[in-house]
Amino acid sequence: MSELFQISRRRFLKNLGVISASTALPLPWFAELPEGSKPIRFGVVTDSHYADRAPKGNRFYRDSLPKLQECIEFFNQQELDFIIHLGDFKDEAETPTESSTLNFLKTFEQAFTAYKGDTYHVLGNHDVDSITKEQFLTSVRNTGIARDRSYYSFDYGFLRFIVLDANFKQDGTAYKKGNFDWKDTFIPQDQLLWLQGILESSEKPCVVFVHQMLDDMDSPDHAVKNAAQVRQLLANSKKAIAVFQGHRHRETYHLIDHIHFYTFNAMVDFEGMENNSFSIVTVEPTREIKIEGYYRSSNQIFKNR
């Protein structure tokens, strides 16, 4: 057992946060989970913003590479089903060029795919700062997913996982090469119809990943502009149990319509390895969700009783 795990485990037990949802959630799929279903366990990283450039404010871009390398080394010691990055994977130089941005992406993806298992990405706004969505998507590996897919779903055990792409303007046009406003983020109708179909066809509980936030109570600027519409769709399905997000760079939590909305800390923020940030999420067959946070990341338990 690594020293990092022992330290975090002690902190996990000492500083445990428990957030409970109310009862009365009559979900037929929950009663019908196969006997002996095993917990699903996965690693989460977000907002690494890697670039070979000087720090700006709290963002120490170069530090994200050794931070990620330590994170992946640790994930490789754990028994995880997969790992996922929640967006803003890389950044750009002070004077951005397409070639330098692609080099940052290539370097960081090599470090990310040193993980000895399945890897997935959520598209963030900074991932298309000076390159196209297509260039980003064809440069990364989403295990078992076609290279042209910016939103997609995949299954592990008793869960279905859904990855959304909110990198669109409110007029429906996709972000491209810096042609966007980070406050103008939207999920267009065709993607919502796809999401509805994925939810309706699922015989499993669903966990959603998205970069920008779907709970807009505290910081509307960081939220998807049609977040309420997306939340209603998730609630109506009675299948979504959690939404995991990045973008805001700090941890937030809301319980809305029996769905847990949780935002993770950014890896890029603050100098040095002691300010790293990554997490392991475990979803139990009971729908209890445990988050083991490392360094600046918190430990949480989300219960349904």
According to DSSP, residue 184 is labeled: -
Instruction: Label residues 136-165 b or e (16+ Cβ within 10 Å = b).
Output: bbebbebeebeeeebbbbbebbbbbbbbbb
pLDDT band at 83 (very low <50, low <70, confident <90, very high): very high
Distance CA 264, CA 37 (A): 27
- Encode pLDDT of 26-60 as tens digits: 444 454 566 678 999 999 999 999 999 999 999 99
Torsion of CA 24, 293, 129, 107, to 10 degrees: -140
Say yes or no to pLDDT of 297 above 90.
yes
CA-nearest of 245, 265, 268 to 104 is 268
β strands within 90-139, DSSP E:
119-121
Class of domain 3-304: alpha beta
Q: Do the beta carbons of residue 158 and residue 37 sit within 8 Å? A: yes
Joined together, the tokens standing for residue 207 give 């966990």
Q: Do the beta carbons of residue 133 and residue 174 sit within 8 Å? A: yes
Q: What is the pLDDT of residue 11?
A: 47
According to DSSP, residue 34 is labeled: P
Distance CA 169, CA 280 (A): 32
95 or 3, higher pLDDT: 95
Dihedral of alpha carbons 15, 246, 61, 54, sign? negative
What's the mean pLDDT when you consider all of the chain? 89
- Encode pLDDT of 176-231 as tens digits: 876 777 788 999 999 999 999 999 999 999 999 999 999 977 777 788 999 999 99
Q: What is the pLDDT of residue 18?
A: 45
Q: Do the beta carbons of residue 247 and residue 222 sit within 8 Å? A: yes
Furthest-apart CA atoms within the chain: distance in Å: 56
Per domain, the residue ranges of the chain are 3-304
Q: What is the pLDDT of residue 12?
A: 40
Burial of 200 (0-12, 13-18, 19+ CB in 10 A): exposed
Distance CA 265, CA 150 (A): 23
- What order of strands is seen across the sheet that includes strand 159-163? 152-156, 159-163, 206-209, 240-245, 259-263, 252-256
CA-nearest of 290, 282, 248, 280 to 265 is 248
Say yes or no to pLDDT of 17 above 70.
no
Residues 6+ apart with CB under 8 A from 82: 42, 43, 117, 118, 119, 120, 143, 156
Give the containing element (helix H, strand E) for 18: strand 18-21
Q: What is the pLDDT of residue 27?
A: 47
Say yes or no to pLDDT of 139 above 50.
yes
**Mean pLDDT of all residues in 67-78:** 98
Distance CA 153, CA 238 (A): 17
